[in-house]
Amino acid sequence: MAIRLPTAARNAAADAIVDLADAGSGAAVMEIRSGSQPASANDSASGTLLATVTLADPAFGAASTGVASLSGTPLSATGAADGTAGWFRIKDSAAATVLDGSVTVTGGGGDLTLNTTTISTGVDFELTSGTITMPAG
């Protein structure tokens, strides 16, 4: 049988995870990278680091129906390298990995959506939304 979570548990789980991003004395950062997401968030980051974005503090709003949304979107960022965004990693202010997720263009259904996944050095792009979703049940 599958695990199923009621809304209150989904909200608590999402809030607990995103609260880890706010640990430490400063704001969390999001690394946007090329290539495929590692098999585990415990694995070393792979792909080219295309951009590093300092997030709002707190990084996410309170969860509703099991979904915590990235605060302050849309957010502008500037490319640090050339490539196609494939995934992201959020780290707290002490550089501890909090979570990894998928990247797509706006409307593509990724955990993080950008106005373009084509990142170029010195060129601005926009993070249009980001969510952390706990399974329903």
**What six digits make up the tokens of 79?**
């490319």
Element (H, E) at 100: strand 97-105
Check residue 1 and give its pLDDT: 63
- Residue 121: inside a domain, yes or no? yes
- Residue 1: inside a domain, yes or no? no
Check residue 37 and give its pLDDT: 95
| Whether 55 contacts 72, CB under 8 Å | yes
Find tokens 């997030």 and name the residue: 55
- Residue 122: inside a domain, yes or no? yes
- Report the 10 Å Cβ neighbour count for 78: 14
Check residue 106 and give its pLDDT: 94
Check residue 24 and give its pLDDT: 85
Smallest Cα–Cα separation from 112: which of 80, 58, 68? Answer: 68
- Residue 95: inside a domain, yes or no? yes
- Angle (CA) 114-38-30 rounded to 5° is 40
- The total number of structural domains that make up the chain: 1
**For the chain, which residues score pLDDT lower than 50?**
none
Question: In terms of residue numbers, what domain contains 95?
Answer: 7-38+45-133
Q: Which residues of 26-52 are buried (b: 16+ CB within 10 A; e: fewer)?
A: ebbbbbbbbeebbeeeeeebebbebbe
